[in-house]
Structure 1
Amino acid sequence: MEIYCPKCEWEPPASARWSCSCGHSWNTFDTQGQCPECGKVWRETQCLQCKKWSPHHDWYHDYPPIDLEEITEETAVEEGA
């Protein structure tokens, strides 16, 4: 799977960590942008290299396009329960 910043093409290592507003720290690409602690779905991800924000799904360069309107926090939490 190819994952890299759509702005600067930085490839996050497995050790990279993002922080949720709940305080939890994890690799956002392990869960496709959903915090494993509180269930919040991050639709945008900030690059740890260039500091720019991009839609989370734009980081996945070998996935087919998705309809963001179909993804909701409630749906993601229910599916993960």
Structure 2
Amino acid sequence: MDRVLDHFDLDYNCQEHVRTVVETMMTARRTHCNWMHAYFKKFPSKEAVLLKPHPNITEAQWKELYNLFTSETFMVRGLQKPVA
């Protein structure tokens, strides 16, 4: 194949196509969340985090991520060992 296809004919009645799209979107979301969390961890305090939102997202989105990253559930989950 000489070129990368930029258009795909997907059959959303085909379970394999649906699974591929869902897995791709889940991977993109995890990657984005990881980038945002890495940016979040660069700040010395929680107050400093709110003063400088990530440049690629809105202030409202940054506040939602702030609430996620500072939630007790998120922090407890981060302390657990990953399943290998």
TM-score grouping bracket, smaller chain normalisation: under 0.3
Give TM-score scaled by structure 1 length.
Answer: 0.26
Instruction: Report the structure number with the largest CA radius of gyration.
Output: 2
- TM-score, normalization: structure 2? 0.26
Name the structure with the higher strand share. Answer: 1
Structure showing greater relative contact order (alpha-carbon pairs closer than 8 Å, 6 or more residues apart) = 1
